[in-house]
Structure 1
Amino acid sequence: MNSEIRIKDTSANPAPLGLVGFGLTTILLNIHNVGLYPNNSMILGMGIFVGGIAQIIAGILESKKNNTFGLTAFTAYGSFWLSLVAIWTLPALGLAEKADETAMGFYLAIWGLFTFGMFIGTFRLSRALQVVFGTLVALFWLLAIGDFTHIAAYKVIGGYVGILCGFSAFYTAIAQVLNEVYGRTVLPLGPVARS
């Protein structure tokens, strides 16, 4: 006798958690990038716990949903936030040399390249995610150009793009939650046709 046991996944959608973790942390860091306050413990705390740990948890949960895109995005960007905090704090602790602008330019550029690849994946997902990832590509590359050229204006412009990116991720998170809670489209996400 051959019997098959099937387990039904009834876990919640982890994407809003990952998107809100990314969105809120991105907004706050980029308010710093436009010059409204210095890099401080608030940004570090957000980077570790909200941008970092919350996104990694969401990414791991996406694997239960068989969502390779979500798993990759959330765990990678959660790790990005943790690595960024490490880049800022390790030199202050005397554990590493401070990264210069050239090193940071390459760091940001390579994250921009990764994000561009993920952006291509959003063409099959939703218009909302296209905005999140498209603005994130622009953010990374503007900040990288700012580091490579030593022209602060690129970082300020990048900061404004980053605020838009963060708010678009926040919108996407809240839209997913409200649409599920109300069982209808409360806030549109712009689904794309799959051929």
Structure 2
Amino acid sequence: MYTARRTIPMDEYNRKLFESFLRFQESMKYSPTTNANSHGPAFQDLDATPLGLCSFALTTFCVSMYLAGAAVPVKASMGVIMGAALFNGGATLNLTVYLEYRDGNNFGALTFCSYGAFWLSLASLYVAAFDFLTGYKNESVLNNAMGVFFLHGKFLQH
């Protein structure tokens, strides 16, 4: 026994279905959770490079001014400036590495990873719990060792 499935003619049904689809498609165009160029989140096209460059530049500037004795005596403790080296220079640059890899920028990720590791290693020299600098009894030997360390940092820049 055959019964009709719908009372609306097929053409009218398809027209209404298509109009409903067009309304849905139009509403999705302006959705804040999607990007017009991809199916990912709206923040997907943001660039992490300025964050990494700013973090590296500010940390380099602050530590250089501190080491040059611009605002403090040259013999002042490095403890204050190591917070910037640890978090702004190290942690923020390593966060930038993940964002650069996500965007497919391998060169930026490698560069920021190297700089972040440099700042983390510099900060670790002055963390008392690590006790890295206690083996140097002679200040001249320590200064030469730090010169070699900063030479390593210079090679990262070129």
Partner in structure 2 of residue 96 of structure 1: 132
Partner in structure 1 of residue 67 of structure 2: 33
Q: Which stretch shows the higher mean deviation, 30-39 or 6-15?
A: 6-15
- Supply the distance in 2 between the matched residues of 1:28 and 1:81 (Cα, whole angstroms): 12
Partner in structure 2 of residue 178 of structure 1: none
Partner in structure 2 of residue 59 of structure 1: 97
What residue identity is the alignment partner of 1:26? T
Following TM superposition, by how much is the alpha carbon of 1:57 offset from its aligned partner in structure 2, in angstroms? 0.5
Identity across aligned pairs (percent)? 28
Following TM superposition, by how much is the alpha carbon of 1:40 offset from its aligned partner in structure 2, in angstroms? 4.0
Question: Residue deviations 1:18-68, cap 9 Å, x none?
Answer: 111111111111111221213444311111111110111111211122212
What residue identity is the alignment partner of 1:84? L
What residue identity is the alignment partner of 2:59? T
- Supply the distance in 2 between the matched residues of 1:94 and 1:50 (Cα, whole angstroms): 20
Partner in structure 2 of residue 106 of structure 1: 148
Question: Residue deviations 1:134-182, cap 9 Å, x none?
Answer: xxxxxxxxxxxxxxxxxxxxxxxxxxxxxxxxxxxxxxxxxxxxxxxxx
What residue identity is the alignment partner of 1:65? D
1:21 aligns with 2:63: no
Unaligned runs of 5+ residues in structure 1 are 1-5, 117-195
For 1:46-195, what aligned pairs fall within 5 Å after superposition? Answer: 46-89=84-127, 92-93=128-129, 95-98=131-134, 100-116=142-158
Any runs of at least 4 consecutive aligned residues in structure 1 with deviations exceeding 2 A, and if so which? 6-11, 38-42, 92-99
TM-score (norm 1): 0.49
RMSD: 2.3
Report the CA distance shift for 1:94/1:70 in structure 2 as closer, same or farther (over 3 A). closer
Following TM superposition, by how much is the alpha carbon of 1:7 offset from its aligned partner in structure 2, in angstroms? 6.6
Number of corresponding residues: 109
Partner in structure 2 of residue 157 of structure 1: none
